[in-house]
Structure 1
Amino acid sequence: MDLEPIPEIEPGQDIPAIFEPLCAVFRRRLKSDGQKYTPERARVLDSVIRMEGAFEAEQLVADLRESGYRVSKATIYRTIKLMQDAGIVQRVLGGDDVPRFQMIYGAKPDDTIVRVDNDEIISIDIPELIELRDKICAKYGLTPSSHRFQIFATGEKKS
């Protein structure tokens, strides 16, 4: 039996438009791998959809526990791996060894500067990067599906 995650929506607030299609994408991927869409996986997916920017698995554990759900760390890590395989999230490199992830399905590319001196991740929006990506792919007869551009830096942040 497939269970939908129960969205925690305030009265009058709409469910994120990406939720239903993303849920279907994840279900199809799980089914093709012979896996099930469990209530725990649904809750992890729901939490990931609500995350802004890069997140750590430990943040998901904390968020789910604050919401009153008990989901093991192992389930969260396995679900994140399944979401990576489905093209829903990707691992983001940081200045330390702590794995971080960000949602990429249905999102424009999130290019970042990673401060290796304090682990801050700064999102940058440079349209020329997309133009360059498209130009490089066209040169090789390819169609881009996504990209990741990260700069690793230290120093003072310019206001």
Structure 2
Amino acid sequence: MEIKFKLNGKEIKAEAEADTILLDFLREQGCYSVKRGCETANCGLCTVLMNKKSVLSCSVLAVQADGQEIVTLEGMQKEAEEFGDFLANEGAEQCGFCNPGFIMNVFAMLEEIEEPTEEEILEYLAGNLCRCSGFVGQTRSILKFLKYKKGGKKEA
């Protein structure tokens, strides 16, 4: 089946089998930040933005992307690099395997909640698993990033 959608700002027209999951389809398109983890919609590694909302690409069919706007980490390099500095400064990037899905969820959260509280951050990111460090460093990095975005100084 032919699908047309916008991927990271670029118009895409491609063939997709009816049973192809979005995760596999995006990797075929060169979006290697989209990772396979649990395949049961429980880890957040495959998170992408569909129309600015986070979706787990392991539980969405590629044909559902037809007419939609999909953004992966490859389409958010500048923003991801900026936020990634905050993760690194808090020691929250350890192995880095969960970072792409985590970062995508952070930016989806910021689209939805302008000034999230620490409790809202933890609730919003509950679907992302980090086996290295838990969420203490990640939460600190988000709070510092939010403060910086509001015009504060970048803390070391």
TM range, normalised to the smaller chain? 0.3 to 0.5
TM-score, normalised via structure 2 length: 0.38
Q: Pick 1 or 2: higher relative contact order, CA cutoff 8 A, min separation 6.
A: 2
**Bigger Rg over Cα:** 1
TM-score, normalised via structure 1 length: 0.37
